[in-house]
Amino acid sequence: MNAYSVDHSHDDHHDHGPPPGLMRWITTTNHKDIGTLYLWFSLIMFFIGGFMALIIRSELFQPGLQIVDPHFFNQMTTMHALVMIFGVVMPAFVGLANWMLPMMVGAPDMALPRMNNWSFWILPFGFSMMLSTLFMEGGGPASGWTIYPPLVLQTGDALPYLIFSIHILGVSSIMGAINIVATIMNMRAPGMTYMKMPLFVWTWFITAYLLIAVMPVLAGAVTMLLTDKFFGTSFFNAAGGGDPVMFQHIFWFFGHPEVYILILPAFGIVSEIIPTFSRKKLFGYTSMVYATGSIAFLSFIVWAHHMFTVGMPLVGELFFMFTTMLIAVPTGVKVFNWISTMWRGAMTFETPMLFAIGFVIMFTIGGFSGLMLAMTPIDFQYHDTYFVVAHFHYVLVPGAIFAIVAAVYYWLPKWTGNMYDEKLGKAHFWLSTIFVNILFFPMHFVGLAGMPRRIPDYAVQFTDFNQIATIGAFGFGFAQILLLIVVIKCIRGGEKATNQVWDGAHGLEWSIASPAPYHTFSPQPVVK
């Protein structure tokens, strides 16, 4: 794509640096600063959520209770999920969007910079509130991240704090999403038509609509919990004429699109990286865009596949089985397109490419187990077992997390101006890939053998696979320290990066200097 032309001659008029000190970060409205804040926040939460996972895996290392009380164990499974979903994956994607979207569409900044500042800065407060519940009377929420009533109504003092923090996180996400939509619709450089936008922009565009559509639904559901608990309503209380299953319908109407919110930007990232390192254009750009749109549409009509065992009418079960299976088609198209992009390219395997290929393979494994789970009659056997745990960890860890890590390696030279340490990056990839499979693959087996999820203790026949998984968990956890080291090392120095960084890279973000100046693209470039 040599059709871009950028006029650099005006850049220096605007290249004043940021104000010094802490106030730079608190008052910043610069998309790059806010992107950095989001990414650091996400990394810190990743280690907090990972620490919780290690508590869970330590308790599950052998049968019997050795370390924590079951009530605390349930708090850990609940918090681990909330932190990883709302504190790691979502902020990381928003951080990447902040950094890259303006640079990819040739905009000087995000469309709504002050709101951008606010949508980040309410996050730390939301999470402080959520994490503080662990130290309250009765402990933190212990009903799983799905917060199903009536169980969640047994939560102690933590309940209103949990609900308020979910509201805050929702507000933050909605503001971030509005900002992204406004930026993409209004701030594209002249000539950058919709069908010329890089795929990362496209996937985020669609994701932002999903966020705007479903975060209010979650807010509504948790508000109903709040009024049921404190204001005498009976939305979910059968004794008062309500229905506990209605919560699950509302929750998963949010929850399933949420699943795609966690994966569509990852698709975009991989669709940027694979062409670069294959030195070949993305195969089937148009069908990639339509596939993303189809997946987003289908995500609204499959929600009840999370609840096949609640006792739906037969017709309902059939409908949700068929629509769920359909998702395999556009997802398959994406995988085939990625492989066709690699096909007859001239590939090199730098760290971002390794993580992207790891993503395609292991996300597909998660897709296979997803297809199996879609089949209602056999889902009755899989539902709420470790098979499900294996499935969604495959799509979220070597899926979403690997894509985020790939993106960090891919764009880090652009952000810092320095190349990262390739040796350490590769070591990080191989250790992560080996341990993530040792961690999650055995979970398929214990799940099929009959181990339910969310239990702190198990029958002795599940011991061996659980021990392997725990070993994998510690290996994977400690391997992530390498990521921190690579990032810090890269910020502090290293081989200078060129503007293009990767010799197969195309797109506006590679046409500007490395590191990217504090202000870019004012005036805007013209895309031919």
Partner 1 sequence: MNTLHNTKLGLIGLLAFVMSNSTWADWELNLTQGVTDISREVYDMHMFVLWICVWIGVVVFGAMTYSMIKHRKSKGVEPAKFSHSTLAEVIWTVIPFGILVTMAVPAAQTLVRMEDTSDSDVTVKITGHQWKWEYEYLDSGVRIISSLDPDSRQAAALKSGIDPKSVDNYLLEVDNPLVLPVDKKIRFVLTASDVLHAWWVPAFAIKKDAIPGFINDMWTQIDEEGIYRGQCAELCGRDHGFMPIVVHATSEAEYQDWIQAQLASAEAEAQSADREWAMDELMERGEGVYGTYCVACHQMNGQGIPGVFPGLVGTDLVMNDVEGHINVILNGVEGTSMQAFSTTLNDADIAAVVTYERNAWGNDTGDVVQPTTIKDMRVQ
> Where in 323-352 is the site for partner 1 (CB under 8 A)?
325-326, 328-329, 332-333, 335-337, 339-340, 342-349
Q: Which is nearer to partner 1, 29 or 437 (CB)?
A: 437
Q: Which tokens sit at 230? A: 């404190």
Q: Classify residue 143 by its DSSP letter.
A: S
Q: Is 226 in the site for partner 1 (CB under 8 A)?
A: no
Q: Is 461 in the site for partner 1 (CB under 8 A)?
A: yes
Q: Which of 426, 441, 491, 500 binds partner 1 (CB under 8 A)?
A: 426
Q: How far apart are CA 271 and CA 200, in angstroms?
A: 7
Q: Which two tokens stand for residue 76?
A: 């850990």
Q: Rule CB under 8 A: is residue 473 a binding residue for partner 1?
A: no
The rounded distance, in Å, linking the Cα atoms of 470 and 466 is 6
Q: Using CB under 8 A, which of 144, 160, 477, 523 touches partner 1? A: 144
Residue 397 CA neighbour count, 13 Å, CB half: 27
> What number of other Cβ atoms are within 10 A of residue 389's Cβ?
21
Handedness of CA 465, 482, 501, 182 (dihedral sign): positive
* Residues 70-109 within binding reach of partner 1 (CB under 8 A): 70-71, 74
Stretch that binds partner 1, among 254-262, 275-283, 396-404, 405-413 (CB under 8 A): 275-283
In the list 3, 238, 495, 522, the residue contacting partner 1 (rule: CB under 8 A) is 238
Judged by CB under 8 A, the number of residues near partner 1 is 104
Positions in 371-410 near partner 1 (CB under 8 A): 371-372, 375-378, 380-381, 383-385
Instruction: Determine the 3-state secondary structure of 5 from DSSP.
Output: strand
Decide if residue 153 touches partner 1 (CB under 8 A): yes
Known catalytic residue at 382:
no
438 binds partner 1 (CB under 8 A): yes
Angle (nearest 5°) at CA 89 between 84 and 95 = 135
Residue 418, beta-bridge partner list:
496
**Active-site residue, from 36, 143, 172, 207:** 172
Lookup: tokens for 234: 């009976």
State the maximum Cα–Cα separation within the chain, in Å, rounded to a whole number: 72
Instruction: Using the rule CB under 8 A, give the single segment among 143-151, 298-306, 403-411, 412-420 that binds partner 1.
Output: 143-151
Degrees to nearest 5, angle at CA 494 with 488 and 495: 150
Full 3-state SS string of 237-266 = CHHHCCCHHHHHHHHHHHHHHHHHHCCHHH
Instruction: Name which position in 57, 80, 188, 229 contacts partner 1 (CB under 8 A).
Output: 229
Q: Which residue number, 7 or 157, has a Cβ lying nearer to partner 1? A: 157
**Cβ proximity to partner 1, 253 vs 387, nearer residue:** 387
Residue 451 identity (one-letter amino acid) = M
Among 104, 267, 108, smallest CA distance to 196 is for 104
Active site residue 260: yes
Rounded Cα–Cα distance for residues 186 and 107 (Å): 9
Main-chain dihedrals φ then ψ at residue 508, nearest 5 degrees: -60, -35
In a 3-state reduction of DSSP, which class is residue 136? coil
Query: Is 282 or 401 the residue whose CB approaches partner 1 more closely?
Result: 282
Q: Which is nearer to partner 1, 27 or 463 (CB)?
A: 463
Is 306 known to be catalytic? yes
Residue 246 makes contact with partner 1 by CB under 8 A: no
Q: Which is nearer to partner 1, 149 or 494 (CB)?
A: 149
d(CA 113, CA 110): 6
User: Taking CB under 8 A as the rule, which mask of x and - marks residues 24-63 in contact with partner 1?
Assistant: --------------------------------------xx
Q: Is 276 in the site for partner 1 (CB under 8 A)?
A: no
Whole-number minimum distance, CB 29 to partner 1, in Å? 38
CA atoms within 13 A on the CB side of 159: 21
Q: Cα dihedral sign for 223, 229, 233, 237?
A: positive
**Overall residue count recorded for the chain in this entry:** 528
244 is an interface residue for partner 1 by CB under 8 A: yes
- The H or E element that residue 164 is part of is helix 158-186
Q: How far apart are CA 178 and CA 98, in angstroms?
A: 12
Report if residue 249 touches partner 1, rule: CB under 8 A: no
Using CB under 8 A as the binding rule, whether residue 138 contacts partner 1 is answered as yes
- Pick the closer one to partner 1 by CB: 65 or 185: 65
- Binding partner 1 (rule: CB under 8 A), the pick from 14, 167, 196, 454 is 454
Active-site residue among 59, 258, 272, 350? 258
Closest distance between partner 1 and the C-beta of residue 493, in Å? 25
Q: Which of 16, 23, 132, 156 binds partner 1 (CB under 8 A)?
A: 156
Report the residue number, 46 or 355, with the smaller CB distance to partner 1: 355
Sign of the C-alpha dihedral computed for residues 57, 365, 434 and 90 taken in this order: negative
Q: Which two tokens stand for residue 281?
A: 């254009």
Binding residue for partner 1 (CB under 8 A) from 292, 364, 511, 514? 364
Distances (CA, A) of 5 to 8, 38, 499, 508, 525: 10, 31, 14, 9, 7
Catalytic annotation, pick one of 31, 32, 229, 256: 256
Active site amino acids: 80, 109, 145, 172-173, 256, 258, 260, 271, 305-306, 331, 334, 453
